[in-house]
């Protein structure tokens, strides 16, 4: 007769435990941490490392203006891709303002850059690190490389502005590296999205709720970034100089990068994103969200002209208006229906009151 030994019981328990599927929220939180969030923070850090190197190379005469601009666009694109992922270390304080200052309703970036250089003609890294967030980030870097009133290909202007260009590049490299470090290690942010309870979250559902809040906030932010230059807040009068990246004409590319990350959170890398939490009983909602993402993505890809040109005629404004309405539908599906279906209370929105 077969007898069950204590060792066999232990081994059987371990095997059953290994085969037991993870709780859905835990599975989703782990998948998004490993597949979406941590890689995006790593990409942002690497882009800023290259930005700092580009500033040094350009100012030493080893890189031309076009190459310097491409490095900036890559760094700005990686930051735009990070917008739906602002949880944890980067969500608090004024850290995000140190990366990008927007909206800039009074052209503070240009004014404060010029004021700083008048006060500190021999600008040091310490001068920049103690200055206003307005001049520490990508908005100031963009001003230096793209403003029509400046020409850093000219040796005299390069001598005046290069200390600031180098300092901003270094500031961004240091900031992103510090944030990325806080995502790593046994007590890092990524670990806190994978093992519960921890000092930040009591359970996996709280972590998923945090991720969804960041995505909803970012989608609302996309509407503002498009609606502001479109004139949604100025009685229909277009405001092209209020666009997020009007100098480099990369506003639409930034929107596309943010939208792509939001869709990655929804789908996951291996069909293991937020969509997977709905289950078959919510298939109709999942399909509507799929279609909403597709509609916004396709409308954005169909825009063949820069934002300022689209704003200049009725046909372009109509295209932008249709994109805005599409983003609005996508945002509201997340805010009202997806959050409710997942049993998540969103609470305060960072864009409320803007």
Count CB neighbours of 259 within 10 A. Answer: 23
Has residue 303 been placed in a domain? Answer: yes
How many angstroms separate the Cα of 115 from the Cα of each of 109, 112, 135, 172, 331?
Answer: 10, 5, 10, 21, 39
Tell me: pLDDT of 305 over 50: yes
Least confident of 11-25, 45-59, 281-295: 11-25
Tell me: pLDDT of 340 over 50: yes
pLDDT of res. 14:
45
Has residue 18 been placed in a domain? Answer: no
Has residue 350 been placed in a domain? Answer: no
How many angstroms separate the Cα of 320 from the Cα of each of 227, 296, 309, 338?
Answer: 9, 11, 11, 25
Tell me: pLDDT of 353 over 60: no
Q: Are 61 and 242 in contact (CB under 8 A)?
A: no
**pLDDT band for position 348 (50/70/90)?**
low
- How many domains does one find in the chain? 1
Tell me: pLDDT of 24 over 80: yes
Q: What is the DSSP letter of 37?
A: I
Has residue 10 been placed in a domain? Answer: no
How many angstroms separate the Cα of 238 from the Cα of each of 186, 232, 242, 353?
Answer: 49, 8, 9, 21
Distance CA(66)–CA(153), nearest Å, equals 10
Has residue 158 been placed in a domain? Answer: yes
* Average pLDDT, rounded, for the chain: 93
pLDDT of res. 5:
54
Tell me: pLDDT of 280 over 60: yes
pLDDT in tens, 61-113: 999 999 999 999 999 999 999 999 999 999 877 899 999 999 999 999 999 99
Range of the domain at 202: 24-341
Tell me: pLDDT of 349 over 70: no
Has residue 87 been placed in a domain? Answer: yes
**pLDDT band for position 211 (50/70/90)?**
very high
Distance CA(259)–CA(264), nearest Å, equals 9
pLDDT of res. 1:
44
pLDDT of res. 352:
46
Q: What angle do CA 97, 98, 99 make, to 5 degrees?
A: 90
pLDDT of res. 35:
98
pLDDT in tens, 133-182: 999 999 999 999 999 999 999 999 999 999 999 999 999 999 999 999 99
Rounded to an integer, the average pLDDT of 324-351 is 90
Q: What angle do CA 106, 107, 112 make, to 5 degrees?
A: 115
Tell me: pLDDT of 350 over 80: no
Rounded to an integer, the average pLDDT of 250-277 is 98
Distance CA(158)–CA(245), nearest Å, equals 22
pTM of the model: 0.92
Give the domain CATH number at 336: 1.20.1420.20
pLDDT of res. 22:
79
Has residue 348 been placed in a domain? Answer: no
Has residue 19 been placed in a domain? Answer: no
- Tokens 């929107």, residue located: 255
């Amino acid at each position: 007769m077969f007898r069950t030994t204590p060792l066999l019981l232990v081994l059987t328990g371990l095997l059953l435990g290994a085969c037991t599927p993870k709780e859905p929220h835990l599975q989703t939180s782990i998948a998004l941490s490993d597949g979406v969030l941590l890689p995006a923070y790593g990409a942002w850090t690497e882009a800023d490392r290259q930005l700092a190197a580009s500033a040094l190379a350009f100012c030493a005469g080893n890189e031309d203006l076009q190459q310097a601009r491409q490095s900036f666009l890559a760094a700005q694109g990686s930051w735009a891709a990070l917008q739906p992922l602002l949880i944890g270390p980067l969500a608090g304080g004024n850290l995000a303002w140190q990366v990008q200052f927007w909206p800039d309703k009074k052209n503070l970036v240009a004014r404060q850059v010029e004021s700083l250089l008048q006060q500190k003609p021999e600008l040091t890294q310490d001068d920049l690190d103690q200055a206003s967030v307005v001049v520490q980030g990508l908005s100031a870097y963009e001003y230096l490389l793209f403003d029509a009133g400046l020409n850093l290909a000219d040796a005299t202007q390069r001598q005046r502005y290069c200390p600031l260009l180098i300092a901003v590049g270094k500031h961004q490299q240091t900031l992103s590296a510090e944030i990325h470090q806080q995502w790593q290690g046994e007590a890092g942010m990524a670990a806190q999205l994978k093992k519960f309870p921890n000092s930040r979250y009591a359970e996996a559902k709280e972590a998923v709720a945090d991720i969804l809040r960041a995505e909803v906030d970012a989608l609302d932010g996309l509407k503002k970034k498009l609606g502001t230059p479109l004139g949604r807040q100025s009685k229909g009068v277009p405001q092209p100089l209020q666009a997020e990246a009007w100098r480099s004409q990369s506003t639409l590319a930034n929107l596309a990068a943010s939208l792509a990350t939001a869709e990655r959170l929804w789908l996951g890398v291996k069909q293991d994103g937020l969509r997977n939490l709905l289950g078959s009983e919510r298939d109709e909602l999942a399909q509507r969200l799929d279609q909403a993402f597709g509609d916004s993505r396709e409308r954005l890809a169909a825009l063949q002209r820069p934002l300022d040109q689209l704003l200049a005629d009725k046909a372009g404004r109509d295209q932008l208006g249709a994109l805005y309405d599409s983003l609005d539908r996508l945002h509201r599906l997340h805010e009202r229906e997806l959050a409710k279906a997942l049993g998540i209370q969103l609470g305060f929105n960072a864009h409320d009151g803007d």
